[in-house]
Structure 1
């Protein structure tokens, strides 16, 4: 790997400065697009998210999960994604426990899920105008 000073790098690469921050929907859409790049890829699910206490649930992570795919993206990291844990995904993508549980939990998909399925459920979080009463109850009890 070759290391260059910022001044040298500016001559060979276009550096984006003062880029406007990504909105919640743009961050989620970016995540879904990353997942769709390889739709058949098998990704690790997160075990028993519904049974864990909030502090414990926030620390759940798995190598090769949909969240770790988001964390591998330099654009999302530059936008503020700081890790590949459940809690970090909840914070950064501004998702509810119900949304994350439905999109990533072992109980819905088994040990692995396709990247296409993950993208479908991640993308559903963008359209949160119609709030499911069960989702509201779930999130109220999960706190």
Structure 2
């Protein structure tokens, strides 16, 4: 779905997702970032709410050789260290906090399929959500 349509549709809440996996073992998730905007008008975001989760089970693993690493560089609030067993509840709590009752959810990500694969490995799903893949948008905008 095109991002412009999602931004104009006030009955759909945008939730940006960014998952970082370990560069030497892509099945291990290091951190999850979430952000959402709350709109008071069609044109201007009222508030951006963000969360950053570092997984306890991989807290000692860092990227930086092949993939840029900045695990402790989150600048939109505090980072929260959470176990894999608790991350599902934390993500659910975030979505409930930022998505008004009755609104649909649209996931915005750079490579939605990859992020959803890592999230599903942690038992986190957005089954009924619309998807906006910024990687595909980038390809479309830069291709001749």
TM-score normalized by the length of structure 2: 0.27
The structure, 1 or 2, with the larger RCO (C-alpha pairs under 8 Å, 6+ apart) is 1
The structure having more radius of gyration, on CA atoms, is 1
Q: Which has the higher strand share?
A: 2
Structure having the higher helix fraction is 1
